[in-house]
């Protein structure tokens, strides 16, 4: 992984929502090499907040290389004819043919016709004609502004990825989002989207546009200013009572100090938790192929890996046996486990090793994110509640494997579909990636466990009993 290019996309609806301070904060956080906006006035907005990032405007994309000197590079095309120009860059050595080149344009669009049950890539013929005519050598990934970030499809050798939040017509009502794409030398595109409300004062719990304006008028322009306020002080603002103030203040303190605040007297499970994370081939997995476990009692990390597509239960069975014989009765802790790890483990244990199904059914599972955020027992720092954001804000140094869950899943699916030398994963690197996540989880867990409860909340010691946990764990979301 020699380097990467970071591209951020700010649709007009996002820029409309962000204050200058929020915009600066988001740019500092995402640290992009290039920023894509819609129109010249949006570019001007970036300049006005003092940004010196390379700005690309959708209405007049240039043709040529715009970011990356060696390793992966980002180029733009105003029209497909621009491939001639890129071919010239290649011949002169301005484009690193050994590393992936990303070409951004609005020339391709994904058109879904459900009545005909047919998806087509509009503009493909002209695009491929120009591409073939230019006779370029290197490996290219084609980024289109007419598909959502996360979109990726191989159109008979034409690798297409999307960049624009909300572009796909079939996506279910996405709100205004910032897209952050990291483009790697091996053709990997890692993309995230961010709610602009996470930046600026609106990023605080309990603060929407109205309260943000109220706070600014009262002289609290930054999170740090809110965090530094004395108890009771914010209550002088209209519409902020004692409870809201507490929420806002501690959220600001957590974000600006990089610490956790406990907002309830609820206890975490004691009893030497076992931290767990799973890697799958997708969101409704056919195979759980890697399970990382950190045992806080022995302080040992171990992973259960299954690389054989024909032995899809091997990792789960080995894990289930280990848990039943070595850790039975101890709490299993996962991050976002309620929605992902636990139901899928349950499903796969039942399918592949039913002899452990009863053990699993009685297992004490604990989702740290659910407990902190959904149930409101703790305020976490971080631009999002994603594990790497929270752990990073708490000072965790990531091992920097350059992988993400989506990318790992994508690679494993490629391996499943055609197990060969060409598609084989670097298993050790993936084990390191999983281990990094599990250790980050343990780190966050300890930070939460050791966090001070906020004023007015008594802290009670000692582990709580499993029965109580089971009840709260069953609390439900919107649509269950």
Q: Which tokens go with 41?
A: 């006035």
> What is the rounded CA–CA span in Å between residue 390 and residue 372?
12
| Sheet of 365-367, strands arranged across | 300-305, 288-295, 274-280, 332-334, 365-367
Q: How far is the CB of 460 from other proteins (least distance, A)?
A: 23
Q: Which stretch binds other proteins (CB under 8 A): 81-89, 281-289, 314-322, 369-377?
A: 281-289
Q: How far is the CB of 233 from other proteins (least distance, A)?
A: 35
Give residues 413-432 in contact with other proteins (rule: CB under 8 A): 413, 416-417
DSSP code, position 453: B
Q: Is 112 in the site for other proteins (CB under 8 A)?
A: yes
Q: Exactly one of 173, 428, 462, 467 binds other proteins (CB under 8 A); which one?
A: 173
> What is the rounded CA–CA span in Å between residue 93 and residue 131?
18
User: Left, alpha or beta for 400 (phi > 0: left; psi -120 to 50: alpha)?
Assistant: left
> What is the rounded CA–CA span in Å between residue 367 and residue 332?
8
> What is the rounded CA–CA span in Å between residue 392 and residue 386?
10
Q: Is 59 in the site for other proteins (CB under 8 A)?
A: no
Count of CB atoms within 10 A of residue 454's CB? 19
Q: Exactly one of 52, 69, 92, 114 binds other proteins (CB under 8 A); which one?
A: 114
Q: Is 260 in the site for other proteins (CB under 8 A)?
A: no
Q: Rounded to the nearest 5°, which phi and psi values hold at 112?
A: -105, 120
| Stretch 343-362: interaction string toward other proteins, x if CB under 8 A | x--xx---------------
**What's the chain's Rg over C-alpha atoms?**
24
Helices (H) and strands (E) in the chain, counts: 16, 19
Q: Rounded to the nearest 5°, which phi and psi values hold at 181?
A: -115, 135
> What is the rounded CA–CA span in Å between residue 411 and residue 281?
8
Number of residues binding to other proteins, judged by CB under 8 A: 47
Q: Is 151 in the site for other proteins (CB under 8 A)?
A: yes
Q: Is 195 in the site for other proteins (CB under 8 A)?
A: no
Q: Exactly one of 299, 300, 461, 480 binds other proteins (CB under 8 A); which one?
A: 480
Instruction: Output 52 or 480, the one with its CB closest to other proteins.
Output: 480
Q: Is 22 in the site for other proteins (CB under 8 A)?
A: no
Q: Exactly one of 150, 196, 381, 402 binds other proteins (CB under 8 A); which one?
A: 150
Instruction: Output 69 or 476, the one with its CB closest to other proteins.
Output: 476
Q: List beta partners, residue 193.
A: 179
Q: How far is the CB of 168 from other proteins (least distance, A)?
A: 7
Q: Exactly one of 231, 282, 395, 400 binds other proteins (CB under 8 A); which one?
A: 282
Question: Do the strands 4-9 and 178-184 form a parallel or antiparallel pair, or are they unpaired?
Answer: antiparallel
Q: Determine the 3-state secondary structure of 459 from DSSP.
A: coil
Q: Is 166 in the site for other proteins (CB under 8 A)?
A: yes
Instruction: Output 119 or 298, the one with its CB closest to other proteins.
Output: 119
Q: Which stretch binds other proteins (CB under 8 A): 101-109, 265-273, 279-287, 420-428?
A: 279-287
Q: Is 171 in the site for other proteins (CB under 8 A)?
A: yes
Q: Is 458 in the site for other proteins (CB under 8 A)?
A: no
Q: Which stretch binds other proteins (CB under 8 A): 16-24, 35-43, 284-292, 457-465?
A: 284-292
Q: Which stretch binds other proteins (CB under 8 A): 108-116, 179-187, 229-237, 420-428?
A: 108-116
Contact (Cβ atoms closer than 8 angstroms) between residue 415 and residue 287: no
Q: Is 475 in the site for other proteins (CB under 8 A)?
A: yes
> What is the rounded CA–CA span in Å between residue 346 and residue 100?
40
| Stretch 286-325: interaction string toward other proteins, x if CB under 8 A | x----------------------x----------------
Q: Which tokens go with 141?
A: 């990934």
> What is the rounded CA–CA span in Å between residue 436 and residue 396?
10
Q: Which tokens go with 64?
A: 């040529």
> What is the rounded CA–CA span in Å between residue 323 and residue 364?
11
Instruction: Output 44 or 417, the one with its CB closest to other proteins.
Output: 417
Q: Exactly one of 32, 68, 162, 331 binds other proteins (CB under 8 A); which one?
A: 162
DSSP code, position 451: P
Instruction: Output 31 or 169, the one with its CB closest to other proteins.
Output: 169
Instruction: Output 119 or 460, the one with its CB closest to other proteins.
Output: 119
Q: Exactly one of 29, 155, 301, 427 binds other proteins (CB under 8 A); which one?
A: 155
Q: What is the dihedral of CA 369, 371, 375, 380, to 10 degrees?
A: -50
Q: What angle do CA 284, 355, 287 make, to 5 degrees?
A: 20
Instruction: Output 285 or 402, the one with its CB closest to other proteins.
Output: 285
Q: How far is the CB of 171 from other proteins (least distance, A)?
A: 6
Helix axes 40-48, 20-30, angle to 10 degrees: 90
Q: Which residues bind other proteins (CB under 8 A)?
A: 110, 112-121, 147-148, 150-153, 155, 162, 166, 168, 170-174, 281-286, 309, 343, 346-347, 409-410, 413, 416-417, 474-477, 479-480
């Amino acid at each position: 992984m020699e380097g990467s290019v970071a591209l951020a996309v700010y649709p007009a609806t996002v820029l409309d929502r962000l204050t200058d301070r929020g915009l600066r904060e988001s740019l500092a956080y995402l640290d992009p090499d290039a920023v894509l906006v819609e129109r010249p006035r949006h570019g001007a907005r970036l300049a006005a907040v003092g940004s010196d990032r390379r700005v690309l405007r959708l209405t007049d994309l240039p043709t040529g290389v715009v970011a990356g000197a060696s390793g992966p590079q980002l180029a733009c095309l105003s029209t497909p004819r621009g491939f001639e120009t890129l071919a010239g860059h290649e011949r002169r050595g301005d484009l690193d043919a050994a590393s992936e080149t990303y070409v951004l344009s609005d020339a391709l669009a994904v058109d879904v016709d459900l009545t005909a049950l047919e998806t087509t890539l509009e503009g493909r013929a002209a695009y491929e004609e120009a591409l073939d005519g230019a006779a370029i050598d290197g490996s290219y990934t084609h980024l289109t502004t007419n598909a959502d970030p996360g979109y990726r499809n191989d159109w008979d050798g034409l690798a297409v990825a999307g960049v624009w939040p909300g572009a796909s017509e079939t996506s279910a009502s996405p709100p205004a989002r910032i897209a952050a794409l990291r483009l790697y030398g091996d053709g990997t595109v890692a993309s995230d989207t961010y709610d602009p409300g996470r930046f600026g004062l609106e990023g605080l719990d309990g603060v929407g546009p109205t309260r943000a304006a109220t706070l600014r008028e009262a002289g609290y322009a930054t999170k740090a200013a809110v965090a530094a306020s004395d108890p009771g002080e914010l209550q002088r603002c209209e519409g902020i009572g004692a409870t809201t103030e507490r929420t806002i203040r501690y959220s600001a303190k957590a974000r600006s100090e990089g610490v956790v605040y406990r907002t309830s007297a609820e206890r975490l499970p004691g009893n030497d938790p076992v931290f767990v994370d799973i890697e799958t081939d997708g969101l409704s997995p056919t195979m759980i192929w890697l399970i990382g476990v950190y045992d806080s009692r022995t302080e040992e990390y171990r992973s259960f890996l299954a690389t054989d597509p024909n032995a899809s239960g091997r990792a789960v069975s080995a894990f289930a046996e280990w848990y039943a014989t070595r850790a039975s009765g101890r709490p299993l802790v996962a991050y976002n486990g309620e929605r992902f790890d636990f139901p899928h483990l349950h499903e796969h244990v039942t399918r592949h090793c039913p002899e452990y199904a009863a053990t699993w059914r009685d297992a004490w599972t604990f989702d740290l994110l659910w407990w902190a955020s959904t149930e409101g027992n703790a305020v976490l720092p971080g631009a999002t509640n994603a594990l790497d954001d929270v752990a990073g804000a708490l000072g965790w140094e990531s091992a920097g494997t350059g992988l993400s869950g989506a990318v790992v899943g994508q690679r494993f699916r490629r391996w499943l579909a055609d197990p060969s030398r060409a598609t084989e994963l670097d298993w050790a690197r993936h084990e390191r990636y999983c281990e990094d996540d599990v250790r980050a989880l343990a780190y966050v867990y300890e930070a939460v466990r050791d966090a001070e409860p906020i004023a007015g909340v008594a802290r009670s010691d000692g582990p709580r009993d499993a029965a109580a946990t089971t009840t709260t764990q069953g609390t439900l979301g919107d649509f269950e």
